[in-house]
Amino acid sequence: MSAPDLLALRDRIEAVDRQIIALVAERLRIVEGVAEAKLASASPFRDREREEALIGRLRAIAVAQGADPHQIERMYRIVMDMSVARQEQAVRERADVPLRVAYQGVEGSYSHLAAQRRYAGRAGGALLAGHDSFRAAADAVSAGAADLALLPIENTTAGSINEVYDLLAPGTLHITGEVISAIEHCLLALPGVRLDELRVVISHPQALAQCHDFFARHAHLVARPEIDTAGSARRVAAVGDRTLAAIASSAAAAAYGLEILARGIQSSAGNATRFVEIAPRPAPLADGVAAKTSLVLALADRPGALGEVLVRLAARNLSLTKLESRPIPEAPFTYRFYADVLGHASSAPFAAALDDIRPLTTELRILGTYPTAG
């Protein structure tokens, strides 16, 4: 038996390598189109869940072909990083610059849906990026990885989202807009599961609080908090436990293959969440736009200081729409106040009111003036 022709084998390998490189290049050209599609639909720029699902399929293909699945995974993670880098490059080379938007949660979360509605169709497009926490989304803005973040700050049923107020306290980020979004909570479970089979329902603490009447009517259900609504839906799908359900959006049900057992389970029919845009710098506001200004202030140590602040705002015909107190960690049992006031901070009445109340405070900052959403 003659020995294999080494040169011929090497030529065959080189020919295969050329095909591999050509296919990788073709993949990179395709993802440029993916970037354009994501910009047009305001979809998240990087979908980690989809990437992990793809890796799982590729590992299975590798096993079927007799290849090492660990090495194939390693190779494709590099390819996916190359694909994301190509998408970013394609975006940077556009004549118009897209808006990079951070939010908390995964695909199908209420923050993601609110961001899609707000930025879809925007000239120049929008790149949406989900983060594990409110702080991570805010940090992306501070670090320059995102142009702004869209974060929920209060709900008509469950009240204020204190963590977001605390993120604004240092004054390094500014509110540049607000969005009010109606929220319909759905009970999601594995296909074919009945309500009486369920025992545990997981979701974000705010979502659970907004559905307290539903839990009162179904005493066999135990509410367990998780970090995200849509992330809870994804967990139900991944775990495969017929006794486990999630409270999330109908979009999350579609995204993760779950069945909707009940719609509109929020306690209030008018349940809505107010989101704020936060950015590194204030945004200019055109003349004639109905404006709202958010303030943060700490009061001087004197009796009746808060009452005097409210009286002096009212004397300038400024309407207070929100007042929230939060503890100051470095000064036990003292508080900052966050106030939303209708009006532009640069208008004569508002500027005069700030001068009026400044002597009553030890800290007074404008968090932002922006168009009011209602």
Catalytic residues: 273, 275
Q: What is the DSSP secondary-structure string of 127-181? A: EEEEESSHHHHHHHHHTTS-SEEEEEEEETTTEE-HHHHHHHTTSSSEEEEEEEE
Q: Are strands 99-104 and 126-131 parallel, antiparallel or unpaired?
A: parallel
b/e 320-329 (16+ beta carbons within 10 angstroms → b): eeeebebeee
> Could you tell me if 186 and 254 are in contact, meaning their C-beta atoms sit under 8 angstroms apart?
no
> Could you tell me if 75 and 27 are in contact, meaning their C-beta atoms sit under 8 angstroms apart?
no
Q: Are strands 186-189 and 244-248 parallel, antiparallel or unpaired?
A: antiparallel
Rounded Cα distance between 345 and 284, Å, is 12
DSSP 98: P
Q: What is the DSSP secondary-structure string of 294-360? A: EEEEEE-SSTTHHHHHHHHHHHTTPPEEEEEEEE-TTSTT-EEEEEEEES-TTSHHHHHHHHHHGGG
Which amino acid makes up residue 206? Q
b/e 167-205 (16+ beta carbons within 10 angstroms → b): bbbeeebbbbbbbebebebbbbbbeebeeeebeebbbbe
Rounded Cα distance between 172 and 71, Å, is 44
Question: How many beta carbons lie within 10 A of that of residue 156, not counting itself?
Answer: 16
Q: Which helix (H) or strand (E) holds 101?
A: strand 99-104
Q: Which two tokens stand for residue 166?
A: 């605390």
Question: How many beta carbons lie within 10 A of that of residue 78, not counting itself?
Answer: 9
Helix (H, G, I), strand (E, B) or coil at 74: helix
